[in-house]
A and B are shown apart, each in its own frame.
Chain A
């Protein structure tokens, strides 16, 4: 280690761990005197002191040649202090309104920025498909039964979510990675944008339209239309982050194909007559009708997606 350890006759009472503090002048007076006394005869400590002193001098000369910070730095600091809202004004209605307005402005900016970066298809496709799908209830085979329409609406929304964020689908991702914007924030804003938009289409366009006709009730809509839609979309998002968009699409299609398996089989073999159901498939189908459980699964998947994205992107960086 230091010169001391090389000495064959190493002295246990040498103040090796105090020499640097002796050199920078921070030893208490009593210890200082003891070290000075020791230095008067110990040659190896003298050499050590020479080394520490040379180091200190070298560093002091570096320190002395530090450039000055910009002259107007304190002015900038004062400007920032002025820009900060005073704590007191946050109480009371005007303060709250101001805070709410500034929060809204920030949200608005983020939403606008991400809306520009997102693929256009994510907006116009649901606008065409979701209303189109809801018209299925008027086709002869499914007259007034909204099940297939719910199935398809969920699938289309989920496919949209699979293309929300990812290496191969997002040209702006690279840009995001080099800035300080957190990937979580980007993902969150995009989720709000696209999923909010899809939700609005489903709840605002389809529900009133079908409810007025008496085909579906809001409670049914919530449990059998919205819940599977949220769950499958969240799964698609999680998978697209874990792997990639195409894997997410494939798995979503497989999940939905499994639900349709019994129906299609019955249609082909039994000529429209339902076949005796396989118990596993029955259980699987009943899972997709348990509204609360589906929302819970969706919440879990979203949570995982937000946890994992930070790790994944940090790794990429």
Chain B
């Protein structure tokens, strides 16, 4: 029987996650009261996941750094408005999503894999997908990711860089859960298409 490596962690992790969540919520409450040390702690905890998300979404290091700065400033200004009922991580990533797409609309232009191209891909390739992904080098995957639309890249990142649940992704991106699911499966196909196209071009 197949058991992905991660699935074993879930049950053991869940209690720790709840604890972590509440401590993050407390941290934001301190930020709301104007505590700079709390903000530093938020930065220390979130800079890595946020920067990974922003860097791969935006594709430029400087831009990702700028947006990360903007996100931290907004956290500082808006911490008061944070509803403690929602997880802090979701709220922070929601801000990052908003700022990142603002930046994307502002100054990032890329050629994306056309969805038609992705759907043209014959389904018989599905069986080869695992091999394709396992054989692809790190650079090839990065290049293929860069050719997805930001929306597709984003759901892949949120689902598999950060391991967010579907419901959380829906809340962060501001779309229905059904759309998250369909977007993720489109993104998977588009990534496959991009990998195959890169292979052919090489």
> Which chain B positions have C-beta within 8 A of A51?
126, 129-130, 133, 188
* CB of A62 closer than 8 Å to a CB of B: yes
Interchain CA distance A24-B102 in the complex, whole Å: 28
Q: Which residue of B lies closest to A33 (CB)?
A: B11
Chain A residues contacting B43 (CB-CB under 8 Å) are: 74, 77
Find chain A residues with CB under 8 A from B123 CB.
1, 3, 5-6
0 or 1 for each of A18-53: is its CB under 8 Å from B? (1 = yes)? 001111111101001000100110000011011111
Are B69 and A62 in touch, CB under 8 angstroms?
no
Stretch in A64-72, A156-164, A201-209 touching the partner: A64-72
Please tell me if the beta carbons of B10 and A46 are within 8 angstroms of each other in the complex.
Answer: no
Known: A20-B159, A62-B141, A69-B51. A55 touches B10 (CB 8 A): no
- Judge if A8 is at the interface, Cβ distance under 8 Å: no
Q: Say which one of B18-26, B60-68, B88-96 lies at the interface with A.
A: B60-68
How many Å from the CB of B131 to the closest CB on chain A? 8
Query: Would you call B1 and A40 a contact (CB within 8 A)?
Result: yes
- CB contact under 8 A between A54 and B133, given known A29-B10, A32-B7: yes
User: For chain B, which range describes its interface: under 10, 10 to 19, 20 to 34, or 35 or more residues?
Assistant: 35 or more
B10→A25 contact, CB < 8 A: yes
Chain B residue at minimum C-beta to C-beta distance from A26: B165
Interface residue A264 (Cβ < 8 Å from any Cβ of B): no
CB-based A-B contact count at 8 angstroms: 150
Specify the main secondary structure of chain B where it touches its partner.
Answer: helix
Contact with A along B77-109 (1 / 0, CB 8 A): 000000000000000000000000000001100
Chain A residues whose C-beta falls within 8 Å of the C-beta of B164 in the assembled complex: 24, 26
Asked if B69 and A2 sit within 8 Å, CB to CB, the answer is: no
B193 interfacial by beta-carbon distance below 8 Å: no
Instruction: From the candidates A1, A59, A80, name the one contacting B157 in the complex (CB within 8 A).
Output: A59
Cβ of B32 within 8 Å of any chain A Cβ, yes or no, is no
**Chain A residues in 8 Å Cβ range of B13:** 25
- Within the complex, the shortest CB–CB distance from B149 to chain A, in Å, comes to 16
Whether A268 sits at the interface, judged by CB under 8 Å, is: no
* Residues of chain B lying within 8 A (CB to CB) of residue A47: 127, 130
A160 CB to closest chain B CB (Å) equals: 33
Smallest Cβ-Cβ distance to B1: which chain A residue: A40
Q: Which of A2, A58, A80 contacts B73 (CB 8 A)?
A: A80
User: For the complex, what is the distance from the CA of A73 to the CA of B9, rounded to whole Å?
Assistant: 33
Contact status B141-A58, CB under 8 Å: yes
**Among the listed B56, B64, B129, B163, which residue makes an inter-chain contact with A25, where contact means beta carbons less than 8 Å apart?**
B163
Whether the pair A67, B61 counts as a contact (CB closer than 8 A) is yes
Bound complex: CA A99 to CA B156 (Å)? 45
Q: How far does the alpha carbon of A53 sit from the alpha carbon of B184 in the complex, in Å?
A: 14
Cβ-neighbour of A69 out of B65, B130, B166 (below 8 A) = B65
Q: Mark A160-199, 1 if CB is under 8 A from B, else 0.
A: 0000000000000000000010000000000000000000
* Nearest opposing residue in chain A for B164, CB measure: A26
Shortest B81–chain A CB gap in Å is 14
Q: Report chain A residues within 8 Å CB of B73.
A: 77, 80-81, 84
* Distance of A63 Cα from B165 Cα, bound (Å): 18
Question: In the assembled complex, how far is the CB of residue A37 from the closest CB belonging to chain B, in whole angstroms?
Answer: 10
Q: Which of B3, B5, B106, B161 contacts A63 (CB 8 A)?
A: B161
> Taking A1-B185, A51-B126 as contacts, is the C-beta distance between A70 and B161 under 8 angstroms?
no
Taken together as a complex, chains A and B put the C-alpha atoms of A25 and B191 apart, in Å, by 22
CB distance from B9 to the nearest CB of A (A): 6
Give the distance in Å from the alpha carbon of A57 to the alpha carbon of B130 in the complex.
Answer: 10
Are A36's CB and B138's CB within 8 A? Answer: no
In the docked arrangement, what's the CA distance between A47 and B131, Å?
12
> CA separation between A61 and B163, bound complex, in Å?
14
Q: Is A310 an interface residue (CB 8 A)?
A: no
Let me know if B163 and A39 touch, CB within 8 A: no
Q: Cβ of B107: which chain A residues have Cβ within 8 Å of it?
A: 180
- Given A47-B127, A51-B129, A65-B138, output 17 extra A-B contacts at Cβ < 8 Å: A5-B123, A20-B181, A22-B7, A23-B4, A24-B163, A25-B7, A26-B10, A26-B163, A39-B1, A53-B4, A55-B129, A55-B160, A59-B145, A74-B40, A76-B69, A77-B69, A80-B69
- Sorted nearest first, the 5 A-B pairs with minimum C-beta distance are A26-B165, A54-B133, A63-B161, A59-B160, A25-B6
